[in-house]
Structure 1
Amino acid sequence: MPRIIVVSSSPLHAGGVAAALQGVEGWVVQIGRADEPADAWVLTGEELQLRGAQGASGLLAADADAPRLRAAVAAVLQGLSVREAPWLGSSNEHEPLTPRELEVFELLGKGLSNRDIGGVLGISAHTAKFHVGQILAKTGAATRAEAVSEGLRCGLIGL
């Protein structure tokens, strides 16, 4: 039975996070300290940091809803690391990528130029350039390489 410790300097915030995790059958959720033995720890602050006993970790927005938090903790308990990227549509702060932008992003990850992206998708190079600009803006990346790095790290695109 996995033991999860919620660590926070704010008792109110710790209580809310613990309450969000209480509904999972088989989990023992407690408020405590980061040095207590557990299978996973949830540290609250400006973001929710997850740490697993197996070395897995996670990072979520502080306002993550209960289903996202439970899914992230379950992943960390399985030894997976998770990182929420606001531009994937998980947060209302940033606009999510459109299906076309995801197609362009995949081709961007393969190193294609705007002209080549346009040729593959049957759009103009100018339109491809627009989509690349939108991807850069939504991911907060300054360069194509930085955007691709972020997309690879989050598992959104493959090589």
Structure 2
Amino acid sequence: MPRIVIVSPSPLLADGVAAALRAAGDWDVRVGRAEDNADAWVLLGDEIVVRGAQRASARLAADASASRLRAAVGAVLEGLSVRESPWFAGVAEHEPLTPRELEVFELLGKGLSNRDIGGVLGISAHTAKYHVAQILAKVGAATRAEAVREGLRCGLIGL
């Protein structure tokens, strides 16, 4: 079981991060010092730095989500280095889209109307409209154009 040590000047913050990482399940997560023996260290400060025993590392924004932090720690434990791109730093995490919503989203990105989306997928225009409304809500967009922009930014759809 990999050992992860959380290092922070704030014990409260360290405890919170440790609890978030323990949710991953298969890690022995402890609050400690950078000198402690571990497979990876999570250093909390102006940014989050994850250092692995095998020279792999990750850098994340200080406000990175628990899921991004868990993914970065997992990558470092596998010997991979990660640097969160500033392009992704502002990308919100969304409720997952269903496979059908992803199909609708791709067609939405191509500029199809609800009627045309329905025709391509063999569903009614009303059902297509429902899926579009769900997509808008899940990506936090007010318009179809905003949803497409967010989908492209997050990599949910392509052109």
Q: Is the structural similarity TM-score above 0.5?
A: yes
Contact 2:117–2:125 at 8 Å: present in 1 too?
yes
- Which whole-Å CA distance do the structure 2 matches of 1:101 and 1:11 have between them? 42
Matches within 5 A, 1:73-152: 74=75, 77-81=81-85, 82=88, 83=91, 85-88=93-96, 97-152=97-152
Percent identical:
63
Query: What is the number of equivalent residue pairs in this alignment?
Result: 126
Write the letter of the residue equivalent to 1:42. Answer: I
TM-aligned CA deviation for residue 15 of structure 1: 3.3
Q: Any stretches of 5+ residues in structure 1 without a counterpart?
A: 35-40, 44-50, 89-96
- Which whole-Å CA distance do the structure 2 matches of 1:100 and 1:137 have between them? 15
Q: 1:58 to 1:146 in 2, by over 3 A?
A: farther
Deviations 1:54-88 (A, max 9, x none): xx758644xx36xx522145489423435451322
- Which whole-Å CA distance do the structure 2 matches of 1:98 and 1:29 have between them? 33
Higher radius of gyration, 1 or 2:
2
Q: Any stretches of 5+ residues in structure 2 without a counterpart?
A: 30-37, 50-57
SS of match in other structure, 2:83: coil
Q: CA RMSD in A?
A: 3.5
Structure-2-length-normalised TM-score: 0.60
Q: 1:57 to 1:42 in 2, by over 3 A?
A: closer
Deviations 1:112-153 (A, max 9, x none): 111211111011222211111111122221000111111111
Write the letter of the residue equivalent to 1:126. Answer: H
Q: 1:30 to 1:72 in 2, by over 3 A?
A: closer
The residue that corresponds to 1:28 in the other structure is 41
Q: 1:6 to 1:150 in 2, by over 3 A?
A: farther
